[in-house]
Amino acid sequence: MLKQLSLDLGSIAESAIERSLSDVDSEPKIRSLFRFLNRTVENSKGGVGTYSPGGKKAIYFRFSYRDGKRMKHKHIPGGNIYSQLAFKRAREIQGMTEADISTHEILNKINSFR
């Protein structure tokens, strides 16, 4: 009886997750969900992503990394994502991340771009 009860609860939980994921239709909800699912990652080296400050149409590159439990971001100078300079710098930072370079060295490199 107890074993069957736990299986029933598991199927209820799975169907609730499927329903809640199918109801997620906006970008902020999806981002929030991924933040929740990935918040236990402590040793992440970070990565290059894009952002749009203040809801503007322009999109820029940034380096995102963890400082303890907090997620921090550093703008990669060079213009918007359509700029060749910004794209080159973002690829360089992504390569440093993949090569397991320390976050401190990556931040120093980004600061040297200015």
Asked if 49 and 100 sit in the same domain, the reply is: yes
Per-residue pLDDT tens over the stretch 23-37 = 545 677 666 666 655
Asked if 24 and 54 sit in the same domain, the reply is: no
Q: Band of the pLDDT at 74, cuts 50, 70, 90?
A: very high
Asked if 16 and 29 sit in the same domain, the reply is: yes
33-42 average pLDDT score: 52
Domain residues for the domain of 4 are 1-39
Neighbours of 69 (CB within 10 A): 8
Task: Please tell me the pTM assigned to this model.
Answer: 0.59
pLDDT confidence of residue 10: 44
Asked if 58 and 94 sit in the same domain, the reply is: yes
Residue that is written with structure tokens 């040297």 in the block: 112
The least confident of 6-15, 25-34, 38-47, 104-113 is: 6-15
Asked if 60 and 114 sit in the same domain, the reply is: yes
The number of domains in the chain is 2
Give the distance, in angstroms, between the CA of residue 91 and the centroid of all CA atoms in the same chain: 16
pLDDT at 15 over 70: no
Asked if 20 and 55 sit in the same domain, the reply is: no
Asked if 92 and 111 sit in the same domain, the reply is: yes
pLDDT at 76 over 70: yes
Name residue 62's beta-bridge partners: 49, 75
Q: Please, what is the end-to-end C-alpha distance for the chain in angstroms?
A: 67
pLDDT higher for 15 or 86?
86
Asked if 29 and 76 sit in the same domain, the reply is: no
pLDDT confidence of residue 8: 44
Asked if 29 and 49 sit in the same domain, the reply is: no
Asked if 29 and 82 sit in the same domain, the reply is: no
Asked if 35 and 49 sit in the same domain, the reply is: no
pLDDT confidence of residue 68: 84
